[in-house]
Structure 1
Amino acid sequence: MLQSASLPLLSVVFLGAAAVVYVASIYVSDTTDVLSIRWKLGQALSGLVLLAVVTNLPELVITVSAALADNVDLAVGNVLGGIAIQTVVLVVFDVFGTGRSKGLTYWASSLQLVIEASVVVAVLSVTVMGSQLSSAFLVFRVTPPEILIVCLWLGGVWIIAKARTGLPWEREGAAPGGQQTPRGTAKRKKHRRMKAAGNSTRYVVGVFLLAALATLVGGVVLERTSDLIARRTGVSGAIFGATALAAVTSLPEVATGMAAIKLGDCELAISDIFGGNGFLPTLFLVASLLSGRAVLATMPPSTLYLTALGILLTSIYSIGLIVRPRRQRFRMGIDSLLVLSLYCLGVLGLATM
């Protein structure tokens, strides 16, 4: 049916699926936060892994659907473009969340967040290395770098879980004068609201499953329409996945992050972005297993370019979390202004490829 649809109709279906994924992903995120508290998974390794997976359901569904359809370029572009765009989401938090009193990284500065940013840089660095290997370096439908990315991510999650219980630093790695409310406040407030409304755990699980199903369906439709729109407009699947599709799938992070900041939990908002960005490259292993192709070794130059851009933007915010710039320009910290400027220049560079 979609194969014969016109470009305007495909665009409408694409936007409709995006709306479904946006709303459903917010419910998935909120119910996951509540369940992590009720099941006491918040600080545990298993809890961090679960949160990373379920909060990135749209990207997971798109990757699986694209790999099964042998449309790997779209999946890879969506993952790496999503990391760059979701890092720029922190600029949105800075401008509209914290107001005119100091920048986002001043309030949310924490060594734990620096560790999370370092995990993102580590897995993206292996992504660059893996892209330089021969496509024939395939064993049991996967390549060593894809396995290494998963191992690095799991190791990083373990370190993050240990760091959240305390660091051998003064104030356990928390900067003076920053966020006063403890991280996780937003999750606990969601839980209290659910409890006050009389919502049982069975009800929360039911909402989660329905929202996850809606995300599944919406993600498949997004992948199919993205491929067709890219072909009709003459844009490569990698670039369309890295721009339009990545922007759409990052919208839930904008909504949930802004909600956390309004509840006084800036650290959680940044942690969710870095946590999701660290998890996304692990989807390359899934794409290789399903497609039987060495995904990293067949990356086009545009996706390799986006990987480097993601490393650059993440590194800037990592430095910002340590330096903690006080001054703002255009309602944002100096680090956010630099990230926004470099991202815009990066997109212009991408357009020339």
Structure 2
Amino acid sequence: MSHLSPALLVALFAVAAIVVWQAGTYLSDTTDVLSQRLKLGDALGGLLLLAIVTNLPELVITVSAAMRGQLALAVGNLLGGIAVQTLVLVALDAFGQGHDKPLTYRVHTLKPVLEALLVVAVLTTVVLGTQLPAALLGGRVSPAEVVLVLLWMGGVFLVGKAEHGLPWLAHAPAAATGHPKTPDTTQQKQKPFTNSSTKRVALVFGAAALATLLAGWVLEVSGEQLADQLGMTGLLFGATVLAAATSLPEVSTGLAALQLGKPELVVSDIFGGNAFLPVLFLLAALVSGKAVLPQAKASDLYLTGLGILLSSVYAVGLVFRSRRQVGRLGLDSWAVLVLYVLGMLGLLFIKQ
């Protein structure tokens, strides 16, 4: 695509973004049905099915960049994407169906808090891993890149175990929480694919996943060429424009899930995806032939810390479940929005 004009590259980028957006709606609808039929629950379904599939564009970008040895683009997209995807919750809080109450208030379970803690644990491991030499495992991968995979698998196991209930909640009086557990009053639409066979639902899910994968590849290639022509660095482009474009599936699936009255599925998709993205460092290391984390720069660590901070704010919001809003946003969403803006301004002062 290097011979294409900037106008054509922008057109390709826009078309791919539209495909990703449309596919996200089908992914949300089919994930809701599959989660129920496979008895996964909204939290585990969002963590496994929806979170992984909506991050297929990041998977394509990571593999493609690693094959060409452009690890700065891959690292910037993965770590910058975590902060941007967390910001998606702010947009959904403001514009999603049921915005008369804060998004975190509408979640009636603490399972997403476990997922937020998994994000914090994974990103902390990223920071620790940058200080370890790659030579510990022969130079091709860093020990932390292996630990990240094991940590993510352990987190999935714990969330799955939590689907059977968190025993201490059963003995806590409703009055002690300050917010008795009440059903979400969001008007639920008739769920698509409710009367479809599981096979048909799985086929639609697979087709939407494939469309997301291919469109993600177009986003990566056209976006990289645009970055080169505009003179943007791999980190800056990966952490901003490319990360925002590849977050479109989360926005699309989130809006669709809120229309179905599934706020837990929304939050689990975001936290699940954020916990899964660092797992791709191992894949990038195997493809490129060199460990990725030991090559991380100060700006990469900065974005990692920002992701930890934003995830922690929403974890607190999920625990306190405040009903207070300023405008159309909950207090936790306002905090995340302000911290993200300050974080992006601070990135400009980090040496590349």
Asked if TM exceeds 0.5, the reply is yes
Name 1:250's counterpart in structure 2: 247
Q: Does 1:344 find its partner at 2:341?
A: yes
Structure 2 unpaired stretches of 5+: none
Aligned counterparts, 1:133-282, within 5 A: 133-139=132-138, 141-171=140-170, 176-178=179-181, 180-181=183-184, 190=191, 193-196=192-195, 199-282=196-279
Q: Please state how far the C-alpha of 1:13 moved relative to its aligned partner.
A: 1.5
1:205 shift after superposition:
3.2
User: Which string of whole-angstrom CA distances, capped at 9 and with x for unpartnered residues, describes residues 274-307 of structure 1?
Assistant: 1111111111111111111211111232222111
User: 1:297 aligned to 2:300?
Assistant: no
Of all paired residues, the percent bearing the same amino acid is 55
Unaligned runs of 5+ in 1: none
Work out the CA distance in 2 between the residues paired with 1:107 and 1:29. 18
Task: Output the amino acid matched with 1:154.
Answer: M
Q: Write the distance in 2 (CA, Å) between the matches of 1:46 and 1:328.
A: 29
Aligned partner of residue 167 in structure 2, secondary structure: coil
Residue-pair matches, total: 346
Q: Cα distance, 1:218 vs. partner? A: 1.5
1:110 is paired with a residue whose SS is coil
Q: How far off its partner does 1:312 sit?
A: 0.4
Alignment correspondent of 2:113:
114
Deviations 1:152-210 (A, max 9, x none): 1111111111112111223488963455159xx98x963xx3143xx333333332333
Q: Which moved more, 1:57-66 or 1:137-146?
A: 137-146
Change (3 A) 1:43 1:25: closer
The one-letter code matched in structure 2 to 1:207 is V
Quickly say closer, same or farther: Cα 1:224–1:172, change in 2 above 3 A. farther
Would the alpha carbon gap of residues 333 and 149 (structure 1) be closer, same or farther in structure 2, given more than 3 Å must change? same
- The TM-score, its normalising length taken from structure 2, stands at 0.88
Match of 1:33 in 2: 32
Greater shift in the superposed pair: 170-179 or 31-40: 170-179
Is the CA contact 1:135–1:298 (under 8 Å) kept in the aligned structure 2? no
Q: Using a 3 Å threshold, how does the CA distance of structure 1 residues 265 and 312 change in structure 2: closer, same or farther?
A: same
Q: Report the more deviating stretch, 86-95 or 17-26.
A: 17-26
Rounded Cα–Cα distance in structure 2 between residues aligned with 1:262 and 1:65: 35
Q: CA deviation at 1:145?
A: 0.3
Bigger drift between 112-121 and 37-46 goes to 37-46
After superposition, give the CA deviation of every residue in 1:103-160 in whole Å (9 maximum; x if it has no partner).
Answer: 2222225321211110000000011111223354443722110111111111111111
1:142 is aligned with what amino acid? V
CA–CA distance in 2 between the matches of 1:157 and 1:129?
A: 21
* 2-structure distance, mates of 1:305, 1:29: 32
Residue in 2 aligned with 1:329? 326
SS of the residue corresponding to residue 3 of structure 1 reads coil
272-281 vs 137-146, which moves further: 137-146
